[in-house]
A and B are shown apart, each in its own frame.
Chain A
Amino acid sequence: MESPAVEVIDLVQRYGRTTAVDGVTFTLPRGQVLALLGPNGAGKTTTVEICEGYRRPDAGHVRVLGLDPVARHTGLMPRIGVMLQSGGVYPGARAGEALALVASFAANPLDTAMLTERLGLGPVARTPYRRLSGGEKQRLSLAMALVGRPELVFLDEPTAGMDPQARRATWELVEELRADGVSVLLTTHFLDEAEHLADHVVIIDSGRVVAAGTTAELTAAGEDEQLRFTAPPHLPLEELLTALPEGLSAAEPRPGEYVVGGLMTPEVLAGVTAWCATHGALVDDLRIGRRTLEDVFLDLTGRELRP
């Protein structure tokens, strides 16, 4: 059987006394897209850089295309594409030169003119890297990751600093990579990005996996629908449950933020508002719907994901 694109088991990485990655496990099957989702400092970049062979982990098992990324670094490098979170290009090199240089390392590079045009870099092909905008630098870095026609690409926060249009173009590109059989491991702290692109989402917080699965699995999580609202904190939830139809759940994952789960009917909504009125509480930000990844993250960690 063909080995997975990336296999990480019980990965641990410490920096001095802090544990950046603390027992992370996930698998990216070939030809699919996996998103490592989490806030800044969650350990996403450390995990990706271990997969890229930059450092040997303190503990755990890592295989990339079936190979040890440190011991088999030389053989692995031509088969993967890497987009670092920032930098990596000579400040004085023109965008076109930097791309041509990386293309010259590959046996069957993509047509650089096509790639330049696809990523909207044509107008800045002769501009030195140091004068590119943040989004242009990101797009060049993405082009450099793809030009060697790799089997697997690592994209570390690929759309950070991009305007919405470039972000949308990047999403289309990732979808096209997937359609062409390229495996993609990306990190992001944008929930919509993970929801939109990834077959598998691994939510990381403080170096640990707090949830993993397909987007559908994560957002379904047992309950059909949810009602979410904000109100003054510490209202009596038991009282609410007795007022609602059977089979519903109620929780306050964070002070002042309430979630009612189960089958949503007009009676549920009426019951909630009546209960709030009894306690003189003004309901705010009320919505009914399926859980989003944002809700999942909030429920699991009690914190917002936004950096």
Chain B
Amino acid sequence: MRTEPAMTANGRRHAGTFVPAPGRAGLGRMIAAQTAMEARLTLRHGESLVLTMVIPILLLVGISQTTVVRLPGGDRVGFLAPGILALAVMSSAFTGQAISTGFERSYGVLKRLGASALSRRDLLIAKTLAVLAVITLQVVVISAVAVALGWRPSPAGLPAALGFLLLGTAAFSGLGLLMAGTLRAEATLAAANLIYLLLLAGGGVMYALPSGVAGVFEILPITALVDGLRDVLAHGGAGPLRCWVVLAVWAVTSITAAARWFRWE
């Protein structure tokens, strides 16, 4: 407990305010503070909120409540909701994280944190926790909207769905950090948005991929995540092995590459 330094007659404080008392706070406290900061900045930033919340919900409501897009089977919400959840993971873990981290790098935020008691490992843990917190919020809101629209996912598929969401987060985070840590911030901004749109359009999020090209797209992380979630949330079970393998390969490769090539300045 510190006491307020006394004021002298001329308004200056007594000496002693800055007497050194260095020390590192507890690891839990540091990571919690950094995680809260990262999550708060994401949620406060209007553009990222559009990306993480507004677009997925508009797509979910718009496509499920109209017949503009032809979907397989009769259960439009049941087909769409897993795709929208996968889109939410991609938007936060990949697009949002790549853009914000890229600009943090160019603004010297990462450099400044490099001269603080928070280690780089702790910073990456905090970033991961912040992304998971935002994705949890997205999943809760999107699922609630989907259920309100009549979605009835298979309860037996929920554990595997959770696994797919976590593995997908890892794969997309690795890709986002790899991009942010190697390209200039402006290039990251352009590329992350472009890739988001390409994967949104071509990954089978909003409609079934034509059977002729499906095999080519199955190696994409978004397609693996969408197919995996769609399968387990409709039928329960552990889901297709192919989806687990594709996501795991993306996660391991991208995180290894990011650890190898990420530049902090």
Contacts and interface: CB of A to CB of B under 8 A. Distances in A.
B260 interface: no
Interface string A61-81: 000000000000010011110
Given A106-B24, A108-B23, A92 B17 contact: no
A112 B10 CA distance: 23
Given A84-B112, A87-B112, A106 B104 contact: no
Nearest to A178: B18
Interface stretch (A145-153, A244-252, A265-273, A283-291): A145-153
A53 B117 CA distance: 13
A52 B115 contact: yes
A107 B22 contact: yes
Nearest to A108: B21
B30 A104 contact: yes
Interface residues of B, number: 39
B15 interface: yes
Contact of A149 (B21, B33, B37): B21
B118 interface: yes
B20 A181 contact: yes
B210 interface: no
A106 B33 contact: no
A177 interface: yes
A180 B22 contact: no
B144 interface: no
Contacts of A182: 18-20
A179 B198 CA distance: 61
Contact of A79 (B5, B22, B30, B114): B22
A86 B112 CA distance: 10
A90 B112 CA distance: 10
User: B interface, by DSSP: helix, strand, loop or mixed?
Assistant: loop
B230 to A, nearest CB: 36
Most chain A C-beta atoms within 10 Å of own C-beta, residue among B2, B17, B119:
B17
Interface residues of A, number: 43
Interface in A77-136: 77-80, 82, 84, 86-93, 97, 100-102, 104-108, 110-111, 114
A95 to B, nearest CB: 13
A181 B22 CA distance: 13
Nearest to A87: B108
A34 to B, nearest CB: 17
Contacts of B109: 87-90
A107 B20 CA distance: 12
Given A77-B116, A80-B22, 19 more contacts: A54-B111, A54-B114, A77-B24, A77-B117, A78-B24, A82-B116, A84-B115, A87-B111, A87-B112, A88-B109, A88-B111, A88-B112, A90-B104, A93-B37, A105-B116, A144-B112, A149-B21, A180-B16, A181-B19
Interface of A: 52-54, 74, 77-80, 82, 84, 86-93, 97, 100-102, 104-108, 110-111, 114, 144, 146, 148-151, 172, 176-177, 179-182
11 contacts: A54-B111, A77-B24, A84-B108, A87-B111, A105-B30, A106-B25, A107-B21, A149-B20, A151-B20, A181-B19, A181-B20
